[in-house]
């Protein structure tokens, strides 16, 4: 059987889900036998070089670059999986959805204790090189169709491993009851 | 005609950081910038949350060293519940947290060395990028790959035993810790068969340092002189000047070793530190007020810590520290020596873990303490990447009213920008064509700081790069990717 091709991305996440993936420890050596990696921070492939079987998405969308990247993944992956709370429902970054974006920026750059008496020109970063921040943080399934969801903050290494093995072998993914949780 | 070069670590759409370099019509680098393109807004949106949530909320800034944020915020909240400023906890409370922290240092430093530095050292900076990663290591040297995996695993298991989970745990609570270490858990680290025990981890850490020293012997010129520039250095040190990654006073030295911040209480950090805001990066630029914006910037992290500390309070690491000092002098401003310093700290972390595991205080049931409630608290810790500041103010309803953080990588913002400029000028000035090797060199300079820009860019070795040559009118002249 041909190896399944995997791609991964971290959008507006903390990279904890990728770290949890690494917590499969020595199984990573088995994984190399089972799958082939394409576009992923795990390797040097920065653009899709072929159609992938499985795309793992960590993080929601907080700026326009996240959205671009997610659309790119949908286009190039047969199966797309939201991995972890941020991808599934915005996670911690989505706490800012309850506050106007302008207030968040002002707190960080104008009003915080280490800036309020020394930012004489009232600078808030706005360079054209910086991506545009979205009004809200969006979960991935509000941007593109998502096929599967792996819960947890982060999902355990065991869950990520089982999911990959079942997807790579073509089986249906089953979620044990105790794995359906927020943290 | 001048041109602009953009280097974007991780692809354009996924990067959390990117580099732009402007080259004038004489072919000289005129300006270079490392942009941080992510903005989250934690300082604002944690306002109104109850203070006891802070240690579990704020750690979600970073999944690579969540323990650092977990503990820095817990230390700040300790002050608010009247449990003292870092030294007022019960012995079990403080030592469980120290064990958690040294577990974190051990796993993070191991991850950085093996997944990031080692591929470059093993294969060379200009080797096939497809192999220059952990998978390449696994194929070339399975023994080393297994060691990398098991060292990181050991640190992660320590975190799980103290924090409840390997990533985003809940162990530290206001005024202490929510569990002790059972005898069974302790023995799983002390008595496991080789190599999965604490003694063996000390040996493996020494082996990693020997590996680096061997490389240094053969590549002295590169390690000594690549991206070498003077700076101030800051970190916590224990009151007696010892290296202490969990608690201490703030000390900074200048490029010649003169103290410029004299072992001050970090509760007063606002008397000493400010941050400059620049329009082109979401990451602020911290500086020491006494020296001003231009001269007050500083480095943090392993290199800085071995410059500020007088000694290391564990024997094997101290012996290595003495050798390092004898070879590098009083103050070390050599960027690539950060790898060396990091590996000495890895040995220290392994020694501390072993000694803490043998301390019966960890089996005590006296876990939490409290005292007179305060309105504000500051928590500072030496995270793997350097000094990390958290500050919270709370109201009478126990809600957070103000939150400020200066994370380790932010402290290194100016040094990383200097490093990019240094390398860009050295490699690109007067050159007609920008090669992959030049881009790679810029990346290597940034990587020495082990930046948590997007966690992604540093976690897995090679940062994918894209480079675009743009003329002053915005026309794309050339585009390259590697």
Q: Does A168 map to a domain?
A: yes
Task: Calculate the alpha carbon distances from B305 to B232, B302, B334, B343, B449 in Å.
Answer: 11, 5, 13, 13, 13
- Mind giving me the DSSP string for A3-46? PEEEEEEESBS-SHHHHHHHTTTTHHHHHHHHEEE-SSTTSS--
Q: Does A110 map to a domain?
A: no
Give the up-direction half-sphere exposure of residue B366: CA atoms within 13 A in the CB hemisphere. 9
Q: Does A114 map to a domain?
A: no
pLDDT greater than 50 at residue A93: yes
Which member of B33, B153, B454 has the closest CB to residue A10?
Answer: B454
Q: Which of B19, B48, B63 should be substituted to probe chain A, the one whose Cβ sees the most A Cβ atoms within 10 Å?
A: B63
A25/B281 touch (CB, cutoff 8 Å), yes or no:
no
Give the model's confidence band at A36: pLDDT under 50 very low, under 70 low, under 90 confident, else very high.
confident
Provide the pLDDT for residue A131. Answer: 87
User: Which region among A39-43, B79-83, B145-149 has the lowest average model confidence (pLDDT)?
Assistant: A39-43
- Residue that has been written with the tokens 């401003």 in this structure: B333
Provide the pLDDT for residue A1. Answer: 66
CA angle, residues B393, B396, B399, in degrees to nearest 5: 55
CATH number, position A19? 3.40.50.700
Q: Residue B400: which H helix or E strand, with range?
A: strand B400-406
Answer positive or negative: Cα dihedral of B223, B227, B232, B237. Answer: negative
Measured distance between the N- and C-terminal CA atoms of chain B, rounded to whole angstroms: 26
The mean per-residue pLDDT over the stretch A81-101 comes to 95
- Number of CB pairs, chain A paired with chain B, less than 8 A apart: 221
A93/B40 touch (CB, cutoff 8 Å), yes or no:
yes
3-class SS of residue B390: strand
Return d(Cα B415, Cα B417) in angstroms, integer. Answer: 5
A96-100, B16-20, B86-90: range with highest mean pLDDT: A96-100
Write down the pTM of the prediction.
0.93
pLDDT greater than 90 at residue A28: no
Return d(Cα A107, Cα B60) in angstroms, integer. Answer: 19
Closest-CA distance, A179 to chain B, in angstroms, reads: 14
Which residues 140-159 of A are in CB contact (within 8 Å) with B?
Answer: 153-154, 157
Burial of B99 (0-12, 13-18, 19+ CB in 10 A): buried
**Complex ipTM value:** 0.95
Quick: pLDDT tens for B441-456: 787 788 777 765 433 3
Q: Does A109 map to a domain?
A: no
3-class SS of residue B21: strand
Enclosing domain of residue A34 = 4-92+136-180
Which is more confident, A44 or B429? Answer: B429
Return d(Cα B46, Cα B58) in angstroms, integer. Answer: 8
Phi then psi for residue B350, to 5 deg, are -65, -40
Provide the pLDDT for residue B472. Answer: 52
Q: Residue B404: which H helix or E strand, with range?
A: strand B400-406
3-class SS of residue A135: strand
Quick: pLDDT tens for B309-366: 999 999 999 999 999 999 888 899 998 899 999 999 999 999 999 999 999 999 999 9
Measured distance between the N- and C-terminal CA atoms of chain A, rounded to whole angstroms: 36
Which residues of chain B lie closer than 8 angstroms to A94, CB-CB? none
Quick: pLDDT tens for A50-60: 999 999 999 99
Q: Does A98 map to a domain?
A: no
Q: Does A113 map to a domain?
A: no
Return d(Cα A38, Cα A45) in angstroms, integer. Answer: 6
Q: Which of B4, B12, B38, B47 should be substituted to probe chain A, the one whose Cβ sees the most A Cβ atoms within 10 Å?
A: B38
User: Which region among A96-100, B102-106, B262-266, B405-409 has the lowest average model confidence (pLDDT)?
Assistant: B405-409
Quick: pLDDT tens for B274-288: 999 999 988 899 999
Quick: pLDDT tens for B239-277: 999 999 999 999 999 999 999 999 999 999 999 999 999
User: Which region among A156-160, B27-31, B247-251, B470-474 has the lowest average model confidence (pLDDT)?
Assistant: B470-474
Q: Does A107 map to a domain?
A: no
A10/B18 touch (CB, cutoff 8 Å), yes or no:
no
Pairing mode, if any, of strands B232-237 and B249-253? antiparallel
Are A16 and A85 within 8 A, CB to CB?
no
Return d(Cα A161, Cα A110) in angstroms, integer. Answer: 44
Q: Does A42 map to a domain?
A: yes
Give the model's confidence band at B222: pLDDT under 50 very low, under 70 low, under 90 confident, else very high.
confident
Give the model's confidence band at B458: pLDDT under 50 very low, under 70 low, under 90 confident, else very high.
very low
Quick: pLDDT tens for B122-169: 776 666 666 666 667 777 778 888 888 899 999 999 999 999 999 999
User: Which region among A29-33, B15-19, B29-33, B44-48 has the lowest average model confidence (pLDDT)?
Assistant: B15-19
The pair of structure tokens assigned to B15 is: 């990067």
Total number of domains constituting chain A = 1
pLDDT greater than 90 at residue B90: yes
């Amino acid at each position: 059987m041909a190896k399944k091709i995997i791609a991964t991305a971290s959008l507006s996440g903390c990279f904890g889900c990728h770290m949890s993936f690494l917590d499969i420890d020595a199984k990573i050596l088995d994984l190399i036998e089972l799958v082939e990696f394409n576009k992923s921070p795990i390797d040097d492939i920065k653009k899709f070089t072929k159609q992938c079987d499985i795309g793992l998405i960590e993080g929601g969308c907080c700026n326009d670059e996240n959205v671009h990247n997610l659309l790119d993944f949908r286009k190039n992956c047969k199966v797309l999986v939201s991995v972890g709370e941020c991808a599934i429902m915005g996670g911690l970054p989505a706490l800012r959805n309850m506050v106007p974006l302008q207030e968040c920026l002002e707190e960080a750059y104008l009003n915080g204790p280490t800036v309020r008496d020394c930012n004489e020109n009232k600078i808030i970063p706005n360079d054209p090189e910086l991506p545009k921040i979205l009004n809200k943080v969006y979960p991935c399934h509000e941007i593109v169709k998502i096929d599967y969801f792996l819960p947890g903050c982060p999902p355990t290494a065991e869950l990520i491993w089982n999911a990959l093995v079942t997807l790579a072998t073509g089986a249906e993914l089953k979620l044990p009851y105790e794995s359906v949780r927020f943290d | 005609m001048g041109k602009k070069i953009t280097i974007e670590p991780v692809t354009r759409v996924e990067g959390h950081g990117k580099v732009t370099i402007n080259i004038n019509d004489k072919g000289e680098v005129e300006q270079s910038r490392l942009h941080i393109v992510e903005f989250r807004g934690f300082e604002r949106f944690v306002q109104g949350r109850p203070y006891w949530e802070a240690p579990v909320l704020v750690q979600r800034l970073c999944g690579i060293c969540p323990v650092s944020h977990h503990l820095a915020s817990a230390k700040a909240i300790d002050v608010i519940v009247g449990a003292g400023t870092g030294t007022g906890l019960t012995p079990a409370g403080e030592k469980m947290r120290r064990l958690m922290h040294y577990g974190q240092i051990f796993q993070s430093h191991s991850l950085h060395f093996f997944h990031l530095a080692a591929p470059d050292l093993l294969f060379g900076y200009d080797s096939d990028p497809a192999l220059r990663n952990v998978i390449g290591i696994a194929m070339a040297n399975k023994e080393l790959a297994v060691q990398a995996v098991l060292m990181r695993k050991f640190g992660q298991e320590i975190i799980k035993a103290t924090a409840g989970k390997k990533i985003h745990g809940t162990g530290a609570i206001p005024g202490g810790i929510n569990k002790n270490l059972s005898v069974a858990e302790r023995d799983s680290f002390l008595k496991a068969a080789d190599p999965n025990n604490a003694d063996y981890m000390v040996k493996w850490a020494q082996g990693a340092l020997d590996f680096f020293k061997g490389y240094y012997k053969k590549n002295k010129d590169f390690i000594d002189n690549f991206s070498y520039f003077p700076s101030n250095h800051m970190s916590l040190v224990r009151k007696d000047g010892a290296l202490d990654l969990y608690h201490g006073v703030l000390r900074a030295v200048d490029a010649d070793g003169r103290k410029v911040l004299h072992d001050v209480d970090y509760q007063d950090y606002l008397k000493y530190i400010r941050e400059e805001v620049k329009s082109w990066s979401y990451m602020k630029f911290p500086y020491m007020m006494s020296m001003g914006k231009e001269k007050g910037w500083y480095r943090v992290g392993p290199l800085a810590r071995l410059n500020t500390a007088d000694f290391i309070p564990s024997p094997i690491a101290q012996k290595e520290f003495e050798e390092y000092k004898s070879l590098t002098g009083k103050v070390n401003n050599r960027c690539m020596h950060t790898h060396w310093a990091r590996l000495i700290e890895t040995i220290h972390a392994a020694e501390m873990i072993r000694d803490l595991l043998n301390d019966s205080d960890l089996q005590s049931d006296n876990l939490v303490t409290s005292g007179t409630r305060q309105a504000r608290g500051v928590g500072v810790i030496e995270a793997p990447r350097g000094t990390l500041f958290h500050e919270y103010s709370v109201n009478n309803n126990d809600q957070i009213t103000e939150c400020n953080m200066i994370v380790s990588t932010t402290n290194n913002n100016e040094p990383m920008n200097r490093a990019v400029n240094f390398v860009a000028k050295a490699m690109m000035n007067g050159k007609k064509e920008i090669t992959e090797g030049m881009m790679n060199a810029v990346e290597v300079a940034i990587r020495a700081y082990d930046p948590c820009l997007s966690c992604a860019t540093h976690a897995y070795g090679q940062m994918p790069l894209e480079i675009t040559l743009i003329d002053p009118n915005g026309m794309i002249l050339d585009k390259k990717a590697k």
